[in-house]
Amino acid sequence: MTTSIKDVALLAGVSVATVSRALGNGPVSPALRAKVEAAVAQCGYRPNLSARRLRSQHTRTVGLIVSDICNPFFTAVGRAVEDVAYRAGMRVILCNTDENPDKEAMYLRLMQEERVSGVIFAATRATADALDTAELGFPVVMIDRAGAAARCDAVLLDNRLAAAQLVEHLLERGYRRIGGLFGNTSSTGAERHAGFAEALQRAGLPVAARFVAPSAAAAQAELAAWLPEETAPEALVASNGLLLLGAAKAVRAAGVAVPQRLALAGFDNDSWMELAEPGMTVIEQPVEEIGRVAMEMLLERLRQPERPPRKVVLAGRLVARGSSLARA
Amino acid sequence: MTTSIKDVALLAGVSVATVSRALGNGPVSPALRAKVEAAVAQCGYRPNLSARRLRSQHTRTVGLIVSDICNPFFTAVGRAVEDVAYRAGMRVILCNTDENPDKEAMYLRLMQEERVSGVIFAATRATADALDTAELGFPVVMIDRAGAAARCDAVLLDNRLAAAQLVEHLLERGYRRIGGLFGNTSSTGAERHAGFAEALQRAGLPVAARFVAPSAAAAQAELAAWLPEETAPEALVASNGLLLLGAAKAVRAAGVAVPQRLALAGFDNDSWMELAEPGMTVIEQPVEEIGRVAMEMLLERLRQPERPPRKVVLAGRLVARGSSLARA
DNA sequence: ATGGCATGAGAAAACGTTTTCAATCGATAG
DNA sequence: CTATCGATTGAAAACGTTTTCTCATGCCAT
């Protein structure tokens, strides 16, 4: 039995309503306000957020739905989201979907039951395309991946451009047989593949792309199988940090020289990219900015529900390192 | 205006109480249960969790308070906690304290206002020692670091032993001037330092330890300053993954050969440890198990509030790699 | 046939707040 | 001197559930 606002009122000799007003910022005389604060301090009162949320009908809670918080990209994004959210007096509920549409649906339902103020969502391709954000009952900001048709706010990387940039970098450095490893569940993977393919076609080169499950292990297995083949590439583009990690492991296990026998390049400037010899060439995403902007857009949307949806497209930054050194 | 249980009752032609019972698992006849389910489906009813929590007086929510979810150790632990929690029908609120005691106090207060069922807490040394878990109002499971006096559940690594193990490994490989880099806020850093110092003293060797803020940048700066000194070690132990990352960066920037001029060893088998040439020797923590066991202990505690507190001490596993190769 | 007794259902209370509504009071304007 | 107004305050309703109580019904044992 915890102490409630009633106990405070009794102790301070005022009404329940006055306590509520003194704690929020209602109009209350300095004298009573002082009495209330004294009583609160004396009995160690803590407001019950469930009751407050029920009565006031807004939860000051946002959901953050990502595929896997263990992916450093989402960790960093999530951290930025939380910082902005807590600073705005909102709480964050984190959900990991493992790129599983069933889990996505389950968590979306949970968000409805929580009556969240809004959701920041990195959806799989399937869900992003099918999602009807209007009937959800709360605003959604898409991150990383956006549904083609989704009429809602989003903050994204210019994936096509970034992938093309990577290919052109490799072409410049003298590589020709360029392969690609892409995630098979996200629209991000698809877009990066599109930019990859376009750039190669512009150069009149064949595109050799493989799609894998979005995990380091899958990428490692795929590349391990690919390396001994005749079609094995001279340079490889990996569609995100996890896949690049897997690729690097496969390369190391096979004892393949980087970049002499195989150049590597990918996405996400994770902490190890600099450290793995000879340094990984990557497109760095502005991870902190993505999370911050997403949360800010959500807050903006809550203030102005009728504002037309907006998509913020951020640019990646090419960080060239030893793994794509110019060909001898 | 969302649909409430009242609307469902009206639509199904039964009382509110019956709807509640049909949705929970109260005793209700099959006929009415079917009618209720039909009505729920028809009007798309979603229970309001705030109301449910207020009335039923349990929130089915746990808090997870860590220093920084960007640290791969906490990411992995957090992921395991969430998996177990969601499977048990509980939600997780994540809080990042940045090892700041003020933030810790703030989040602890927030947890009280949320009326959480319990908290899993990686506290700083200061907080862990001062914390009075009895007056918090909810059970706490400490992870990673435990207060000396804290009379509550905990799941920890045998830090002393692990650090000593690391030192003995280096001694075996022929290193003598062994330095250490330890975090200056956590009790973990202190314990690992203790094990480190003991092992060196047993061997009759001097202990050269430096304490730094718990971040890769701080470790990098410290080691960069240390390397040129006369007292620079032949081998370095870093107290966690972040510090080891910083150390590796400093070593790389200074062009120091590993392990020829400086051997490296540390904690946490993060994904890059294998990849950073020549491979990092580390004590691997059972991260997934730590998170899982912590959450399971919390559930257990909720079932049996009066059970005496229990500490689970898990062992680390030494993974020897090239960074600690036997001395020539 | 009658008195428990288990079962299923509804009415209403309760959870701890915020918010609306009405009331009191002092002061200022007419 | 009185009527009106603004500022505070308290009483009570409301938020959407779960849970306690009460009651009706049918069944079994006496």
**Does the B5-47 domain belong in CATH 3.40.50.620?**
no
Q: Could you tell me if A201 and A207 are in contact, meaning their C-beta atoms sit under 8 angstroms apart?
A: yes
pLDDT in tens, A8-36: 999 999 999 999 999 988 889 999 999 99
Inform me whether the C-beta atom of residue A322 falls under 8 Å from chain B C-beta atoms.
Answer: no
Nearest to residue A65, comparing CAs of A90, A101, A41, A40?
A101
Token readout for A239 is: 């569609």
Q: How far apart are CA B243 and CA B223, in angstroms?
A: 10
Of A47, A109, A137, the CB nearest to B2: A137
Instruction: Find the mean pLDDT for residues B137-149.
Output: 84
pLDDT in tens, B200-218: 999 999 999 999 999 999 9
**pLDDT single digits (tens) B214-227:** 999 999 999 999 99
Q: Give A210-253 as a DSSP string.
A: EEE-SSHHHHHHHHHHHTTSTT--SEEEESSHHHHHHHHHHHHH
**Rounded average pLDDT over B254-274:** 95
Residues of A in contact with B245 (CB under 8 A): 271-272, 275
Per-residue confidence band for B287, with pLDDT thresholds at 50, 70 and 90? very high
CA B309/CA B154 separation, integer angstroms? 8
Q: Which pLDDT score, from 0 to 100, does residue B189 have? A: 93
* Residue B278 to residue B264: CA distance in whole angstroms: 10
The Cα–Cα gap between B91 and B96 comes to 17
Do A275 and B248 form a contact (C-beta atoms < 8 A)? yes
Q: How buried is residue B299: exposed, middle or buried, by Cβ count under 10 Å (0-12/13-18/19+)?
A: middle
Residue B301 has pLDDT above 70, yes or no: yes
Q: Residue by residue, what is the 3-state secondary structure of A243-285? A: HHHHHHHHHHHHCCCCCCCCEEEEECCCCCCCCCCCCCEEEEC
Fold match, B59-157+287-315 / B159-284+318-324? yes
CATH number of the domain located at residue range(s) A159-285+318-324 in this protein: 3.40.50.2300
What pLDDT score was predicted for residue B275?
A: 93
Cβ within 8 Å of A, B 64-83: 68-70, 72, 75-76, 78-79, 82-83
The model's pLDDT over B226-247, given as tens digits with 9 standing for 90+, comes to 999 999 999 999 999 999 999 9
Kindly state the average pLDDT of the residues B38-57: 96
In chain B, where are the structural domains located? Answer: 5-47, 59-157+287-315, 159-284+318-324
CATH topology of domain B59-157+287-315: Rossmann fold (3.40.50)
pLDDT at B149: 61
CA B5 to C1' C7 (Å) is 24
Q: Tell me the average confidence (pLDDT) per consecutive run of 10 residues in chain A, 328 residues long.
A: 91 95 90 94 96 96 94 95 95 92 96 97 91 90 78 92 97 96 92 97 96 96 96 96 96 95 97 93 97 97 93 95 90
Which residues, 6 or more positions from A201, have their beta carbon under 8 angstroms from its beta carbon?
A: A207
CA distance A164 to A159: 8
Superfamily in which the B159-284+318-324 domain is placed by CATH:
Response regulator (3.40.50.2300)
The confidence score (pLDDT) of residue B133 equals 86
pLDDT exceeds 80 at position B1 = no
- Give the model's pLDDT for residue B20: 96
Distance in angstroms, CA of B28 to C1' of C2? 29
DSSP three-state, residue A69: coil
Mean pLDDT in residue range B322-328: 90
